[in-house]
A and B are shown apart, each in its own frame.
Chain A
Amino acid sequence: MKNYDIVVIGGGPAGLAAAIEAKKQGIKKVLVIERDIELGGILQQCIHNGFGVHIFKEELTGPEYAQRYINMAREENIELLMDTIVTSITKDKRVRATNCGGILDIQAKAIVLTMGCRERTRGACAIPGDRPSGVLTAGAAQRFINIEGYNVGKKVIILGAGDIGMIMARRIVLEGGEVIAVLARGNIVKGLTRNIVQCLDHYNIPLLMNHNIIEIKGKERMTSVVVAQTDERKDVIPGTEKEYECDTLLLSVGLIPENELSRQAGIIIDRKTSGPVVNESMETSVEGIFASGNVVHVHDVVDFVTEESCRAGRNAARYVKGEISAESEAMNVVVSGGLSYCVPHKIRLSAMPDKMDLFLRVEDIYPEAKIVIKNQGKELARFKKTHLTPGEMIKQTVVKALFKDCKGDLEITLEVEGGKK
């Protein structure tokens, strides 16, 4: 049995930030366990630019953003275990991992979960038709093209207007392939607006709103797909079916936080985010186990992952040092009126810093709306927002003074003026 102060599971942007921050707080024995043969996580395959605008005030690519944190981790002398998979964790913060050297048993004082997320697959969305090769998730295609150096197809259609899907559309065109269209399954684009502009508009790739794939064809390699328009209820409009010849279908139909380990440890998972329920310190329902980044909720900007993870790392350090005071009861954060969730889910005033960010997401598009925070029917604050879309997370800074004397649930709601778009 090896002993560590803090074990960080996952060496992507979240894990790196958490580990570096914990180390900066004076924690000596910090270990990062990473399953891949290198650090950086999915950032290494996100070779496009647009990362780091908030933190570094410049536009970096994924690998550049990762490299900066990898370099920082090296400077901090953080212990790393690569090519190693954690197979179980327990409530008592025992970690079991496997690698080519054998099976490792580790006792940690605190754990930070930063396993990230995985992509929804064809099976999960049950697209009818044949099951040929040539149907893959956008992220898998991204890995093949950007890391392995192989093309995945010549004539491609992309289902789902998520970020990775749009970014891959541009990437495939740059590598000499053809992209027939990107299909959005509803009237909302899940990805960032700038990706529509930079990845689709600039490369003349059509974005078809309210479209879905109703059949995949091809006995061996894919040969075509049947596409149809959908109504407001996302049901197919008969007579709009159209067959497109293509050899590849990329799916960008959602990301799911990867919480199999969290469940094993008995951590409570929020149905809305599919990630652990966390408090103001990014601590899960199990004391001393923290979580941050995409394992908690799927982010669209890595800078926020980093910020959130610094918070997790800092608080894991405070926990190890016995500095977190949890005297006050946790208030539940309850969202309503077009908000789909808020992270953190719980706030303990005694442990809340003077200033803190809330991460919120809306369910629909709102050109203008106000975020209103209430406690026991009494309004505490309202923040005016414009151009809210489900694809763009809202970061709202709040001050501790606001919640003085609050009891029970903290209610956050959206007040919409001028109705929905």
Chain B
Amino acid sequence: MYDIAIIGAGVIGSAVARELSRYKLKILVLEKELDACVGTSKANSGIVHAGYDPEKHTLMAKLNADGNKAYDKLAKELSVPFKRNGSLVVAFDDEQLAHIMKLYERGIENGIPKLRIIGHAELLKLEPNINPEAKGALLAETAGVVDPMLLTISLLENAVMNGAECKFDFEVKSITPENGGYTLKSDTESVSAKFVVNAGGVYSDKINDMVAPPRFKVNPRRGHYFLLDKSEEGIVKHTVFPCPTKIGKGILVAPTAHGNIILGPASDDIDDRENLGTSEDCLNLVRKGARLLVAKATTRNAIRVFAGMRAEPDTDDFIIEEAKGAKNFLNIAGIKSPGLTAMPAIAEYAVNLLKDMGLSLEKNKKFNPIVERSLFIDLSEKEQAKLIKKNPLYGRIICRCENITEGDIVDAVNRPMGATTVDGVKRRCRAGMGRCQGGFCGPKVQEILSRELNKPLDSVVLEKKSSFILTGKTK
């Protein structure tokens, strides 16, 4: 029996697993997909919010502020790209100016440092490409951008390095209390654990309902994005938001942690929790919204469009509490924006709750918080030359858009909790993330996966179990 089972290998489940791996515990992470970071965590803006948005005294406000502060250390420990590029909420008229003033005040109440209202002139100096009709903006210097995919994967990878176990392709179909713990079953397997953490994202309400009376509902909402080529780097340096409305923070224009530009999201509420498709209407909303903010933010050099799923709770706040009527079962649900930002604080908060619930926490003295990772392209010339000498595969560039070498890809496959899918490789080392979107390197990546995992080339999948790419040999 495991001490604790965590349902879901998104950013929250992975962070909780890592936080728990600081203690001597038998930890199991259950994930219905083939890799970590295949749901909500893979497709979002990648913004680390300053924390002026959430209403005072909410859990969201507290965890946002604390989470933001934790990012420098966390990103460094996990070798994940993170930049405090600052954010701007731009106002175009007096009403919006009044609104950003309100945001400013709320930020101060929430204890957010380095907030400032700036006027037209300073705004245009900071961001020369912004719509010159802008009257002013709220500048939040502590806002940042992070690679949410690499972050999620690294969190879980670090947990695995420290002893946590993962079961992929394990979709929890039933949970039953048994022997003072819980038995969790998929269609083919069964595991048991004393404590359970529900980090099931858009399915967290359904998972709660397997063991406890329904208490909340999660409504799936899609957010549409455009990712622009790195040639557009520099059109904005800050994360630029329009003035928020009732339905969200609006369509932003922002740099990504890797130097692309991201536009979005345009959101729509849908019924199907697996529907990550994009709709032309929403894409047009992104096009329009982005242009309004920054005229240069056109989709002429788009390299990808995508939609991400968000878990919108029917409560106004994050739901982080023991399930009513199910002892030792912790719900972490409705983690919508600023969930990514709040993640480090959510994990700590959750572990404290688990301790209060009776989970015994004895320090794991061997805990190592560091994930070492460096891509060939990020090394100095000297280090590059040395690395090729040590392993010639680092001299063969496979992904020409991002300059990712065969050595980098082999490492992505063979490291702890390594990639088993083409997208898994992409999320770990960026091969296929560039302007040709894997057109050139895709076949090579498949070959490397096939070789390193010793399985037939046509059994390599893109991301999900049946997302096969080839349909057999021609001869």
Judged by DSSP, the binding face of A is mixed
Residues of A136-150 at the interface with B, using a CB-CB cut-off of 8 Å, are: 136-137, 139-140, 143-145, 148-150
Contacts of A99 in B (CB 8 A): 395-396
Which size bracket describes the interface of B in this complex? 35 or more
B436 and A118 contacting across the interface, CB-CB below 8 Å: yes
Q: In the complex, what residues of B have CB within 8 A of residue A220's CB? A: 463-467
Measured CB to CB, the closest approach of chain B to A116, in angstroms, equals 11
Flag the segment in B14-22, B303-311, B314-322, B337-345 that touches A.
B303-311
- Whether a CB of chain B sits under 8 angstroms from the CB of A131 is yes
Q: Is B371 on the interface with A (CB-CB < 8 A)?
A: no
Indicate if A13 sits at the interface (CB-CB under 8 A): no
Bound state CA distance, A144 and B384, in angstroms? Answer: 32
Point out the residues of chain B lying under 8 angstroms from A136, CB to CB. Answer: 439, 442, 469
A123 touches B395 (CB 8 A): no
A150 to B473, Cβ gap below 8 A? yes
Contact B474 A133 (CB under 8 A): no
Interface membership of B365, Cβ < 8 A: no
B400 touching A85, Cβ below 8 Å: yes
Q: With the chains together, A136 CA to B468 CA distance in Å?
A: 12
Could you mark each residue 455-471 of chain B with 1 if its beta carbon is under 8 Å from any beta carbon of chain A, else 0? 00110011111111111
Please, how many angstroms separate the alpha-carbon atoms of A144 and B469 in the complex? Answer: 10
Least CB distance from B171 to A in Å reads 14
Residue in B279, B280, B395 whose CB lies within 8 Å of A102: B395
| A312 shortest CB reach to chain B, Å | 22
Residue of B nearest to A101 (CB): B395
Q: Are B302 and A35 in contact (CB under 8 A)?
A: no
Instruction: Give Cα A151 to B283, complex, Å.
Output: 32
Instruction: Determine whether A43 belongs to the interface, using a CB cutoff of 8 Å to chain B.
Output: no
Please tell me if A154 contacts chain B, counting CB pairs below 8 Å. Answer: yes
Please determine whether A137 and B439 come into contact, CB atoms closer than 8 angstroms. Answer: yes
Q: Please state if A221 and B466 are interface contacts (CB–CB under 8 Å).
A: yes
Asked if B453 lies at the interface with its beta carbon under 8 angstroms from chain A, I say no
User: Is A373 an interface position by the 8 A CB rule?
Assistant: no
Instruction: Tell which of A100, A221, A263 touches B388, judged by Cβ atoms closer than 8 Å.
Output: A100
Q: B470–A152 contact, CB under 8 A?
A: yes
Judge whether A336 is part of the interface by a CB distance below 8 angstroms.
no
What's the minimum C-beta distance from B427 to chain A, rounded to whole angstroms?
14
Q: Which residue of B lies closest to A140 (CB)?
A: B439
Q: Are B276 and A130 in contact (CB under 8 A)?
A: yes
Partner of B400, one of A35, A101, A263: A35
Q: Which residues of B contact A50 (CB under 8 A)?
A: none
B214 nearest CB across to chain A (Å): 26
**Chain A hits for B389, CB < 8 A:** 102
- Measured in the bound complex, the distance between the Cα atoms of B277 and A154 in whole Å is 23
CB distance from A65 to the nearest CB of B (A): 22
- Residues of A near B457 (CB, < 8 A) are 148, 150
Are B278 and A129 in contact (CB-based, < 8 A)? yes
B186 within 8 A of A: no
A residues 205-239 in Cβ contact with B at 8 Å = 214-217, 219-221
Complex Cα distance A215/B466, Å? 20
- Tell me the complex Cα distance, A175–B474, Å: 7
Check: A124 CB closer than 8 A to any chain B CB.
yes
B299 proximal to A (CB < 8 A): yes
Given contacts A98-B395, A102-B388, A128 and B280 within 8 Å (CB-CB):
yes
User: Which residues on the A side are within 8 Å of B283 (C-beta)?
Assistant: 126, 128
B104 within 8 A of A: no
Given contacts A35-B397, A154-B471, contact A126 B462 (CB under 8 A): no
Can you show 26 pairs from A to B with CB atoms below 8 A apart? A35-B400, A83-B396, A87-B397, A98-B384, A102-B389, A103-B385, A103-B388, A103-B395, A118-B436, A121-B303, A121-B436, A123-B303, A128-B280, A130-B275, A131-B276, A131-B306, A136-B439, A139-B439, A145-B474, A150-B458, A150-B472, A152-B471, A175-B474, A219-B464, A220-B466, A221-B467
If A130-B276, A151-B470 are given as contacts, then 14 extra A-B residue pairs at C-beta distance below 8 Å, sorted by A number, are A98-B384, A100-B396, A103-B384, A118-B439, A124-B303, A128-B278, A128-B280, A131-B306, A133-B463, A140-B440, A143-B443, A144-B470, A152-B471, A220-B467
